[in-house]
Chain A
């Protein structure tokens, strides 16, 4: 709640700060770090369009704000690929006219062909313009793991028994284990595949020291225990936070593919001025801004190369899973087994 209050206050402050003059105002709903004041200022200077930014703290909050006003309260919003689907289903977003966003042609190779990115297009129309991403890779202790691992399968290696920190989330654990087992679509498992993945996860348990939920928690456990491998839900941010306190750790994106989230700019169905929204996105897909985004947040950007992913890394964009309840129940069973 308090976080929300702070975010709300920041948003209000930001709103007051930018709503200075001019007739045209672009209403932006975004995550912290996606619409920094200096960018907003430059954008207004370049285009003469004022920007009202409201920051959000959770996916559900975005949904509540957009659904609550049927998209009329905002022009553009940042939303991840998995979430974007329900906005398309509910007709709350409008497809982009890519010819109005020339900078999209200059982005990193993997983001250039939108049709290759699961979730951002539907029926040939682009609903999301990729902007920010991160992978869920593997952090390993370079003192304890001599050769850099290449796959998540190292988590099952008996020599690391009791030295693995896993993440306490059934959905992700089923997905990454499915990838490790070579299952084509880790988000839509058949019942046979569920059984295989569950058995594999049960085998992981003896290797696991503990299941963590926050990056801080993982760091604290790492500092007080003999930990060799961490399933890094918080990606590069988590790595950097660990390196900052002097931990000898490195990060790999597994060869079978890393689960990755991808935030996109989407235009609401209630958009007032499409041209302004297009200019905003085009403005942000700039190499300089991309580099600043990565530097400030630790996330990957789509415009300029960052340490978050090589062009060769296989990133698997997160999708909604077939049955979250089933995954959660099975995960409980796995944790409950002795």
Chain B
């Protein structure tokens, strides 16, 4: 909305309208609902109706009730592990992508992103039929004689949640890592080779450090997506895969305790913002070096 674009004369309202339109979406649909959540988190519920007088009871309950904190930490750890695994799997893929040239590189990239076009629920269903007690994986293992009775290691428990989330979120990790790898000037690697470094040395001492910002933002990205998920734990978590997202979900569903659900969401949002800050930190400090 700079002066040069704005037409002088009768139409001076246009820039105002344009900036109004630009702000109305983030304010009206993102900030305002989040502010509402914050406000609601200070209310309480009595006999099925919301009491609109401010109280800290929801937050006190979260920090003192023996149920919530353990679940909260367990969920954070789970999602951190998911993020770590995703990055570990995604890095080689992204690296391989950068070695490809021209068309084949983008064909593969598109192929990697195709799963994102599919419904999340359908993918979970698919994973579940692979993982089941007599699902595809177990039947394959039984057929090869590797195991003699179905393994329950990945059936309806936290391991299953971990595995499913990892499989579903890998595409989100590939992209940022690929972008950061692609941005590394080839000259740096050539210089490293010229100075006598082996390929491995160049990889570990040039490529990996320079890709760190992308890797970390990939991690925070995956972490944020995983921690907000409530469907996967519900569908593959069985009786032990209860997560923080499930608790929030139940507050808005069966419990009908919106204020408490809002308080838990605010806590979750704080964690998410922290994770994004951590993921973006390296990026910005690197920006300064360049």
CA distance A329 to B261 in the complex (A): 12
Categorize the interface residue count of chain B.
20 to 34
Chain B, 45-86, contact with A by CB distance < 8 Å: what is the 0/1 string?
A: 100100000000000000000010011000000000000000
Interface-lining segment among A39-47, A73-81, A104-112, A167-175 = A167-175
| A208 in contact with B67 given A225-B155, A324-B256, A335-B246 (CB within 8 Å) | no
Q: Which chain A residues border B254 with CB–CB below 8 Å?
A: 169-171, 324, 328, 331
Q: Which of A166, A208, A223, A224 has the most CB of B within 10 A?
A: A224
* Distance in Å: Cβ of B43 to nearest Cβ of chain A: 14
At the interface, is chain A mostly helix, strand, loop or mixed?
A: helix
Chain B binding surface SS class: loop
Mark each residue of chain B from 148 to 166: 1 if its CB lies under 8 Å from any CB of chain A, else 0. 0010100110000000000
Q: Does A210 contact B (CB under 8 A)?
A: yes
In the complex, A162→B67 CA distance in Å? 24
Kindly identify which residue among A210, A217, A224, A226 contacts B239, using a CB–CB cutoff of 8 Å: A210
Please report the number of residue pairs spanning A and B whose Cβ atoms sit closer than 8 angstroms.
Answer: 81
Report the minimum CB–CB distance from A195 to chain B (whole Å): 16
B235 CB–A CB distance under 8 Å? yes
Q: List the B side residues contacting A171 at CB < 8 Å.
A: 254
Asked whether A148 is an interface residue with its Cβ less than 8 Å from the other chain, the reply is: no
Q: Quick one: closest B residue to A226, CB to CB?
A: B133
Q: Which of chain A's residues have a CB closer than 8 A to the CB of B45?
A: 325
Q: Which residue of A lies closest to B71 (CB)?
A: A336
Q: Which residue of B71, B134, B250, B257 contacts A224 across the interface (Cβ within 8 Å)?
A: B134
Residue numbers in B under 8 Å from A223 (CB-CB): 129, 132
A168 to B235 CA separation, bound complex (whole angstroms): 11
Q: Which residues of B contact A331 (CB under 8 A)?
A: 250, 254
Chain A residues near B257: list those with CB within 8 A. Answer: 325, 328-329
In the bound complex, CA of A211 to CA of B132 (Å): 14
In the complex, A168 Cα to B230 Cα: how many Å? 14
CB of A7 closer than 8 Å to a CB of B:
no
- Cβ 8 A contact of A211, one of B71, B125, B239: B239
Compute how far the CA of A2 lies from the CA of B247 in the bound complex, rounded to whole angstroms. Answer: 26
Question: What 1/0 mask marks residues of chain A from 203 to 222 whose CB sits below 8 Å from any chain B CB?
Answer: 00110111101000100110
| Pairwise interchain contact A226-B48, C-beta atoms closer than 8 A | no
Contact B240 A225 (CB under 8 A): no
For A335, the chain B residues whose CB sits under 8 A away are: 239, 242, 246
Query: Cβ of B71 and Cβ of A328 under 8 Å apart?
Result: no
* Chain B residues, CB < 8 A from A213: 234
CB of B256 within 8 A of CB of A325, answer yes
Asked if residues B238 and A210 are in contact (CB atoms below 8 Å), the reply is: yes
- Does A22 have its Cβ within 8 Å of any Cβ on chain B? no
A338 to B238, CA, bound (A): 12
Cα distance A338–B158 in the bound complex, in angstroms: 11
Residues of chain A lying within 8 A (CB to CB) of residue B135? 224-225
- Is there contact, CB below 8 Å, between B250 and A332? yes
Chain B residues with CB below 8 A from A325, complex form: 45, 48, 255-257
- Cα A166 to Cα B254 in complex, Å, equals 16
Q: What's the minimum C-beta distance from A173 to chain B, rounded to whole angstroms?
A: 11
User: With A and B bound together, what is the CA distance between A125 and B117 in angstroms?
Assistant: 57
Q: Report the Cα distance A213→B233, complex, angstroms.
A: 13
> Of residues 142 to 189 in A, which have CB atoms within 8 Å of B's CB atoms?
162, 166, 168-171
Taking CB atoms and an 8 Å cut-off, the chain A residues in 281-321 that contact chain B are none
Minimum CB distance partner of A168 in chain B: B234
Measured in the bound complex, the distance between the Cα atoms of B256 and A170 in whole Å is 13
A324:B48 contact, CB within 8 angstroms: yes
Report how far A255 CA is from B177 CA in the complex, Å: 60
Find out whether the CB atom of B133 lies under 8 angstroms from the CB atom of A328: no
Q: Which residues of B contact A206 (CB under 8 A)?
A: 239
Residue in A closest to B125 when the chains form the complex, CB atoms:
A220
A108 to B247, CA, bound (A): 43
Residue A24 interfacial (CB < 8 Å): no
Per the bound structure, the CA–CA distance linking A146 and B123 in Å amounts to: 36
* B134 pairs with A217, CB closer than 8 A: no
The listed residue (B134, B156, B250) touching A209 by CB distance below 8 A is B156
Q: Which of B132, B235, B246, B250 contacts A225 (CB 8 A)?
A: B132
Q: Which residue of A lies closest to B61 (CB)?
A: A329
Q: Is the CB of A328 within 8 A of B129?
A: no
Residues of chain A contacted by B235 (CB below 8 angstroms)? 217
Contacts A/B (CB < 8 Å), 8 sampled: A206-B239, A220-B129, A225-B134, A225-B156, A325-B48, A328-B254, A328-B256, A333-B67
The list of the 6 closest CB pairs from A to B, nearest first, reads A224-B132, A328-B255, A225-B133, A210-B238, A208-B239, A335-B242
- Contacts A209-B238, A217-B235, A225-B134 known; list 19 others, CB within 8 Å: A162-B152, A168-B234, A169-B254, A170-B254, A208-B239, A209-B156, A210-B156, A210-B238, A220-B125, A221-B132, A223-B129, A224-B132, A224-B133, A225-B156, A226-B134, A325-B48, A331-B254, A333-B67, A336-B70
